[in-house]
Structure 1
Amino acid sequence: MKPIAPRLLPAVAVPLLVLGLLTGCWDTRDINHRALPVCMGIAKQAGLYHVYLQFPDPVKDGLQLKVVSDYGHTITEAVDAISAKMTSDVDLPEVKVIIMERSYAEAGMKESIDNFMRNDHISAKALLVISDEPLESLFAFMVNSFKPTATAIYDSIEKNAGWNPQMALTRVWEVYRSIHSYTRDVAIPIFKSGESGTFDYDGSAILCSGKMVGRIDLDETLLANMFNEESAQGRIEVMNSASVLILQDAVRMKGTFVNGQPGVILDMTIRVSVLEKKGDSSAALIGRELERQTAERMQRMFAKLRKSESDILGIGQEFRNLIPRDRLKHWRTDYLPRLQVDVRVHPIIQNEGNLTSS
Structure 2
Amino acid sequence: MKKRILVCMVFVILLGGCWDNKDINHRALPIAMGISYQQGNYEVFLDIPTVSDKNEGIQVISAKGDTISAAVNKISMNMESQVDLLHLKVLIVDKAFATLGLSEITASTIRSRHISPKTMFVICDEPLDQFFKGINNMKNGDGKEIYDFFQKNSGWNPEIAHTPVWKVFRSIHSYTNDVVLPIIKSGESTAIQSMGSGILRNGKMVSRLSNEQTLLYNVFDGNSLDGKIEVMGKATVQIVSSRIHNESKFVNNQPVLNSTLHLKVIIMDVIGVPSIEVIKTELQTLLRRILDQIFKKMERANADIFGIGQHYREDLPRTELAEWRTKYLPQAKINLEVKTTIRNTGNLKLK
Which interval holds the TM-score relative to the shorter structure?
over 0.9
CA contact (8 A) 1:237 1:246 kept: no
Question: Which of 115, 124, 133 matches 1:140?
Answer: 133
| Structure 2, unpaired ranges of 5+ | none
CA contact (8 A) 2:136 2:143 kept: no
Question: Which of 54, 57, 67 matches 2:50?
Answer: 57
The 5 A counterparts of 1:144-183 are 144-145=137-138, 149-183=142-176
Question: What is the identity, as a one-letter code, of the residue corresponding to 1:72?
Answer: G
Question: Which of 296, 300, 309 matches 1:307?
Answer: 300
CA contact (8 A) 1:185 1:209 kept: yes
| Mapped partners of 2:98, 2:344: distance in 1 | 45
**2:169 matches 1:187:** no
| Mapped partners of 1:353, 1:114: distance in 2 | 50
Q: TM-score, normalising length from structure 2?
A: 0.92
With over 3 angstroms needed to count, the CA separation of the structure-2 counterparts of 1:139 and 1:13, relative to structure 1, is: same
CA contact (8 A) 1:179 1:210 kept: yes
With over 3 angstroms needed to count, the CA separation of the structure-2 counterparts of 1:281 and 1:79, relative to structure 1, is: same
| Mapped partners of 2:223, 2:107: distance in 1 | 25
- CA shift, 1:76, in A, is 0.8
The 5 A counterparts of 1:32-43 are 32-43=25-36
CA contact (8 A) 1:93 1:121 kept: yes
- CA shift, 1:61, in A, is 6.2
**2:244 matches 1:251:** yes
Match of 2:314 in 1: 321
SS of residue paired to 1:170:
coil
Question: Which of 74, 81, 100 matches 2:74?
Answer: 81
Match of 2:324 in 1: 331
With over 3 angstroms needed to count, the CA separation of the structure-2 counterparts of 1:21 and 1:293, relative to structure 1, is: same
Superposed CA RMSD in Å reads 2.3
CA contact (8 A) 2:231 2:282 kept: no
| Mapped partners of 1:260, 1:62: distance in 2 | 63
Q: What whole-Å deviation, never above 9, does each CA across 1:270-297 have from its counterpart, x for those lacking one?
A: 2222333444532222211111111111
| Mapped partners of 1:84, 1:252: distance in 2 | 54
Q: Kindly tell me the number of residue pairs found equivalent between the two proteins.
A: 351
CA contact (8 A) 1:231 1:248 kept: yes
SS of residue paired to 1:323:
coil
% same residue: 41
| Structure 1, unpaired ranges of 5+ | 1-6
SS of residue paired to 1:350:
strand
Q: What whole-Å deviation, never above 9, does each CA across 1:314-344 have from its counterpart, x for those lacking one?
A: 1111111121122112111111111111111
The farther-off stretch of 216-225 and 240-249 is 240-249
The 5 A counterparts of 1:1-358 are 19-59=12-52, 63-145=56-138, 149-351=142-344, 355-356=348-349
- CA shift, 1:190, in A, is 0.6
Q: TM-score, normalising length from structure 1?
A: 0.91
With over 3 angstroms needed to count, the CA separation of the structure-2 counterparts of 1:29 and 1:251, relative to structure 1, is: same
- CA shift, 1:254, in A, is 1.9
| Mapped partners of 1:231, 1:282: distance in 2 | 25
SS of residue paired to 1:336:
helix
Match of 1:4 in 2: none
- CA shift, 1:188, in A, is 0.8
With over 3 angstroms needed to count, the CA separation of the structure-2 counterparts of 1:121 and 1:257, relative to structure 1, is: same
| Mapped partners of 1:353, 1:153: distance in 2 | 35
With over 3 angstroms needed to count, the CA separation of the structure-2 counterparts of 1:146 and 1:318, relative to structure 1, is: farther
| Mapped partners of 1:47, 1:228: distance in 2 | 37
| Mapped partners of 2:66, 2:295: distance in 1 | 38
| Mapped partners of 2:277, 2:116: distance in 1 | 49
| Mapped partners of 1:170, 1:192: distance in 2 | 17
